Amino acid sequence: MSIFHTKNISQYSFLVTGGAGFIGSHIVAYLLSNGAKKVRVLDNFATGLQSNVELFSGFANYEFIKGDIRDFATCQNACLDIDYVSHQAALGSVPRSVKDPVASNEVNVSGFLNMLTAAKDAGVQSFVYASSSAVYGDEPNLPKIEERIGNPLSPYAVTKKTNELYADVFARLYGMNIIGLRYFNVFGERQDPNGSYAAVMPLFVSGIINNTVVYINGDGEQTRDFTYVDNAVQANIRAMLNDNPDAFGQVYNVAVGEKFSVNYLYRAIRDLLQMPHEATYRQEREGDIRNSLADISKAKKLLGYNPQYKFADGLKLTVDYFKKVYS
């Protein structure tokens, strides 16, 4: 993993909410391995994994709080003596939000507001949060640029857009340094292949290796800007430690600027595994965006973001990882 910062982070304490999750655990790993003064994780294991945080048990500068962001006192406690917050805790998944919009709102909106308020009260230096490309909704133009969005297509998209609205108000009203990151289909090692709302990439790999049914929603020609997890880590680190005042109070696309179809992804995984396996096509999912491609020029200009991993590089690393998991 490349070094994504120039500050001496041994002087600073970090809070990563959702640090037992996929992206969150990679951010924690980066901070710990690069000598942060303290890295505190807040997670309730609703979607995060105990196995992810067990990786950090040997670090003296690591702390863990088991708690729920829907509880304001827990958020206040987590923010004590913290310099930088990376807020990754959320109930992800468009289908989950379609099935249970109330739970998605409670965690992603009420929980987010709790964390923003607790961070404000604690006087943190900056607050970086995970938004999503889902906020672009029915906006048809490609590539997606931050200032041009459409109508949301799912309750999940509504929650992430609401996060951005709250963040904008808190930045202007209270003078907080806040940055939002719109993730585009992040993938990589430790992404959970289990459960009803598992991500597509680990599902494809596990299905092909285990010779079980692999489903592709719709015709498979929908496109995505697949983004390797280290690129998302870089964006979080650069955003938290940002010194450019013009960069705060903004949202940024976090992607690579390449689009590939789901069918292409499936064939690429199958080729890397050298295993013939036919996918089963089924009805497209409610609330899904058809095509997605990011313009990342804003993040490059204001954050110094420069994705180190193209799709093919990240895919090979990811497939190699899951081959070991399933061997």
pLDDT digits (tens, 9 = 90+) for 59-114: 999 999 999 999 999 999 999 999 999 999 999 888 899 999 999 999 999 999 99
Catalytic residue, candidates 156, 183, 228, 305: 156
User: Would the pLDDT of 197 be above 60?
Assistant: no
The whole-chain average pLDDT of the chain stands at 94
The token pair that represents 288 in the structure block: 């899904």
User: Would the pLDDT of 196 be above 70?
Assistant: no
N-terminal to C-terminal alpha carbon distance within the chain = 25
Question: Could you tell me which residues come within 8 angstroms of residue 296 by beta carbon, excluding any fewer than 6 positions away?
Answer: 252, 253, 254, 255, 256, 257, 305, 307
Residue 132's beta-bridge partner residues? Answer: 183
pLDDT-derived band at 282 (thresholds 50, 70, 90) equals very high
pLDDT of 192 reads: 81
pLDDT-derived band at 326 (thresholds 50, 70, 90) equals confident
Q: Is residue 183 annotated as part of the catalytic site, yes or no?
A: no
Q: What distance in Å separates the CA atoms of residue 100 and residue 98, rounded to the nearest whole number?
A: 6
User: What is the mean pLDDT of the segment spanning 152-159?
Assistant: 95
Tell me whether residue 54 is exposed, middle or buried, using C-beta atoms within 10 angstroms of its C-beta: 0 to 12, 13 to 18, 19 or more.
exposed
Q: Quick one: which of 141, 138, 147 has its CA closest to 182?
A: 147
Q: For the chain, list the domains and their CATH numbers.
A: 9-187+229-257+295-308 (3.40.50.720)
User: What is the mean pLDDT of the segment spanning 293-321?
Assistant: 96
pLDDT tens digit sequence for 162-186? 999 999 999 999 999 999 999 999 9
Let me know: does 301 contact 263? Beta carbons within 8 Å: no
User: What is the mean pLDDT of the segment spanning 127-140?
Assistant: 95
**What's the pTM?**
0.95
User: Would the pLDDT of 304 be above 70?
Assistant: yes
